[in-house]
């Protein structure tokens, strides 16, 4: 794409919010361009089974659902490019310049739906063994841990959903949580507690992940936060689900954000900059569901249509 091509609307992100914004913008004949990032479908596409998206009583595979989102948007004229926004510049003529890895893009309105990334433990061994026993996606890597003992870190919905999925492969799963109660929904708690492969290690945190260059992870050091005692448990994998960080660093200084990096929006998905809208997990630290992200994406696109029409 050349710099002299000005899009009516560019959507940053290829997850539920981005593809839904693309669908609504396409149906409004805005011919939207979607920069999907390098992983189409976002976090939702890495979820093996989504059970709470309406219209799928038996549940639906996350990747299949996101590809259906994409296909529907493209059916009405949305265009998808595998590029990642690195910077957004507001030009004096009111246009927005998006600097990607592979190209530059100009547009009159912008919807930011770049989602969020998993938070790290930031303990010794985590980065060294990422991809060699440390994982942030059970559906991506569970197969590699068939008949092995693993640890899942976290106490929310994601941690329990992934732990339950991993019971298909692992021989045993120990869920490590820094508190003595879980934040996850009651139905997930019940399923996890009733599963014979799952046990819990309460009031504990990971201090270190150990392994060797040849075999990867072979142990984890846990610290009880009440007693301070440390124990070593021999495991082959550590799956970490302790929350997410919004992917908004490229917008710092451009739009207003809170102290955690979430974009501040009004009830019309409008940011502090007229013409820039935000949807999904970049602006939603509370609900973080496929359906709420999709709804925000629809709203953002509809407001962008009004903005471009001068209303």
* Whether 229 is catalytic: no
3-state secondary structure 161-207: HHHHHHCCCCCEEEEECCCCCCCCCHHHHHHHHHCCCEEEECCEEEE
| Location of structure tokens 């710092």 | 252
Cα-based distances in Å from 220 to 2, 84, 124, 181, 303: 51, 35, 10, 22, 49
* Whether 141 is catalytic: yes
Task: Judge whether 232 and 219 are in contact, CB under 8 Å.
Answer: yes
* Whether 230 is catalytic: no
| Token representation of residue 234 | 């021999």
DSSP at 120: P
Q: How many CB atoms lie within 10 A of CB 306?
A: 11
Distance of CA 77 to the CA centre of its chain: 25
What span, in angstroms and rounded, lies between the C-alpha atoms of 299 and 282? 15
- Indicate which residue of 140, 212, 249, 266 is catalytic: 140
| Token representation of residue 226 | 């009440």
Strand partners, 263: 257
Task: Judge whether 53 and 26 are in contact, CB under 8 Å.
Answer: no
What span, in angstroms and rounded, lies between the C-alpha atoms of 223 and 251? 37
Residues whose CB falls within 8 Å of the CB of residue 291, separated by 6 or more in sequence, listed in order: 16, 52, 53, 54
- Indicate which residue of 83, 141, 157, 284 is catalytic: 141
- Indicate which residue of 83, 103, 107, 137 is catalytic: 137
Q: Which residues form the catalytic set?
A: 137, 140-141
């Amino acid at each position: 794409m050349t710099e002299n091509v000005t899009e009516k609307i560019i959507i940053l992100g290829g997850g539920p919010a981005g593809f839904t914004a693309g669908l609504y913008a396409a149906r409004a004949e805005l011919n939207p361009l979607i920069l999907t990032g390098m992983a189409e479908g976002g976090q939702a596409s890495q979820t093996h089974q989504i059970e709470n998206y309406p219209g799928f009583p038996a549940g639906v595979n996350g990747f299949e659902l996101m590809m259906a989102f994409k296909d529907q948007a493209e059916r009405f004229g949305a265009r998808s490019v595998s590029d990642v926004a690195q910077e957004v510049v507001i030009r004096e003529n009111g246009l927005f310049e998006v600097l990607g890895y592979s190209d530059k893009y100009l547009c009159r309105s912008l919807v930011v739906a770049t989602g969020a990334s998993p938070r790290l433990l930031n303990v010794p061994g985590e980065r060294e063994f990422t991809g060699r026993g440390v994982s942030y996606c059970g559906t991506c890597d569970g197969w590699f841990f068939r008949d092995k003992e693993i640890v899942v870190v976290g106490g929310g919905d994601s941690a329990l959903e992934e732990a339950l999925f991993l019971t298909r492969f692992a021989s045993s799963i120990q869920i490590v949580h820094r508190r003595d109660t879980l934040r996850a929904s009651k139905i997930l708690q019940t399923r996890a507690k009733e599963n014979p492969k799952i046990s819990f290690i309460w009031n504990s945190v990971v201090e270190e992940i150990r392994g060797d260059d040849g075999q990867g992870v072979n142990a984890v050091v846990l610290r009880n936060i009440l007693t301070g005692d440390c124990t070593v448990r021999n495991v082959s994998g550590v799956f970490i689900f302790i929350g997410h960080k919004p992917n908004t660093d490229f917008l710092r200084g451009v739009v207003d954000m809170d102290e955690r990096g979430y974009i501040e929006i009004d009830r019309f998905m409008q940011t502090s900059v007229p013409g820039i809208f935000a949807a999904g997990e970049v602006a939603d630290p509370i609900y973080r569901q496929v359906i709420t992200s999709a709804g925000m994406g629809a709203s953002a696109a509809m407001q962008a249509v009004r903005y471009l029409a001068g209303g």
